[in-house]
Every structure is written in C-alpha cells, then in structure tokens.
Amino acid sequence: MRIPFGPIFAAGLLLAGHAAAQEWQATERVEPYTVQGTTGLEIYRSIGERGPQLGVARVIAHTGFKLTWTRKYERQGDACVITVNKPKLVITYTLPKLKSKLSEPLKGRWDTFIAGVTAHEKIHGDFIKDMVKQIEAMSVGMTVENDPNCKKIRPQLQARLGELSDAQRARSRDFDKVELSDGGNVHQLILQLVDPR
C-alpha cells in the first residue's frame, strides 16, 4: 500500500541572547488538529485532508521546535571565550485528535495508532534535545585567540552549529525512512488502522 503522507520532521533554528548557564528543561507541547471518521479508512482520509502541510504534502504528524540562546562572550586577554550558552527549547508536536466517538474494535485500533504515532514523534523530540545538548557541550568554553572584540568567534560558532543541525536532520530523515518503509513501524500502524487482518 502506498502511503501518500506520513510523519516528517521539520524544524527551524533561531539563535541569539546573553546570561548565566544552568540546567535546562525543554518545554514540550502538543498542538492537535481534528480528524473524524467511523472507519479506519475514513479516519486516515481525514488525516490526509487535515494533517499539517509540509511543502506540497500533508503529513500525519509533525515535530517542530524553536531554539533560542542566552549567550555570553567574554574577552580573556587577547582571546574571546563563550562563558555562558543557555538554551531555551520549545518542542511542538502536531498530532491528530479524533473528534468521532468510536466503539470497539476500532477504538482500540485508533488508540494503538495514536500511541504509536506519538511515540514516533517523541523520538524526533529526543533527537532535537540531543542536538541542543551537543551544541551546549561544544560551545561553552569555546575560545578563539586573537579575537579581543569577539568578532571571529561568531562565524566559527555558526559553522559548528550548522554541522550539528545538519547531523540532526540527517538522523531524523534516516529514522523516518525506516519507520515509513514497507513493513516499518508507522506503515504497520497505518495498515492496522485502515485494514486489520
């Protein structure tokens, strides 16, 4: 069965700021969109009509994030050092919410489907958190010599951030490729919702 839409990851990265470093927690929120139907196929079609749009395609679910930084650059002798780089991370999961009242066995199939899709998106959220931890680890203490005005350090930091962001996106794409492939976890969830055998 061809799947015309599926969970795809997309995210935007915003960087800025200044202040003191300490433990941080990501804020995670769910942004539901309403679907309905009285059969698995009707529900799936409703997802296809109402799911979040990424590019030209609609998807079942989406994990997005907004990342800002409180960052402090300090001159130490003739060098510039990043002494604070505290993230503020907000992860948003866009997930289908069923409006229709269902009876068994379809209710059980829907519950399994939405639990599986949510778990899939939470893994994308974990990838994002891992990336932010890597950015924090590599940037705090980053030093550029012969940079008393802290101008050279910024493009060097941005280049490293770009590498970590690209690696995170590749990791998410590879994960989706496996999950959405024929026989993959999300593919199986869709088949069980639409056509249980």
Percent of the chain with pLDDT over 70: 88
Tell me, what's the pLDDT at 108?
A: 94
Asked if 59 and 10 count as a contact pair (C-beta separation under 8 A), the reply is no
141: DSSP letter? T
Whose CA is closest to 47, among 172, 160, 194? 194
The pLDDT assigned to 57 comes to 85
Q: Is the pLDDT of residue 103 over 80?
A: yes
pLDDT, position 183 = 87
Q: Which residues contact 69 (CB under 8 A, 6 or more apart)?
A: 15, 16, 17, 85, 86, 87, 88
Mapped onto helix, strand or coil, the DSSP state of residue 61 is: coil
* Confidence at 3, pLDDT banded by 50, 70, 90: very low
Q: What is the mean pLDDT of residues 7-29?
A: 52
pLDDT the model gives residue 2:
29
What are 158-193's pLDDT values in tens digits? 999 999 999 999 999 999 999 988 888 999 999 999
**Average pLDDT of the chain to the nearest whole number:** 86
Sorted by sequence, the CB contacts under 8 Å of residue 188 that are 6+ apart come out as none
Burial classification of residue 112, based on how many CB atoms lie within 10 Å of its CB (0-12 exposed, 13-18 middle, 19 or more buried): middle
| Position 5 confidence tier, pLDDT thresholds 50, 70, 90 | very low
Least confident of 15-24, 117-126, 134-143, 178-187: 15-24
Buried/exposed 137-163: b ≥16 CB within 10 Å, e otherwise: ebbbebebeebeeeeebbeebeeebee
- Please report the pLDDT score of residue 197 as a whole number: 67
Q: Which residues touch 76 (CB under 8 Å, ≥6 apart)?
A: 143
CA distance 57 to 167: 24
Both structure tokens of 172:
């998410």
State mean pLDDT over 135-163: 93
Q: Could you give the dihedral angle defined by the CA atoms of residues 163, 168, 171 and 177, in that order, rounded to the nearest 10 degrees?
A: -110
CA atoms within 13 A on the CB side of 163: 9
Span 44-55, average pLDDT: 91
pLDDT at 84 over 70: yes
What mean pLDDT comes out for the span 143-161?
A: 94
pLDDT band at 17, cuts 50/70/90?
very low
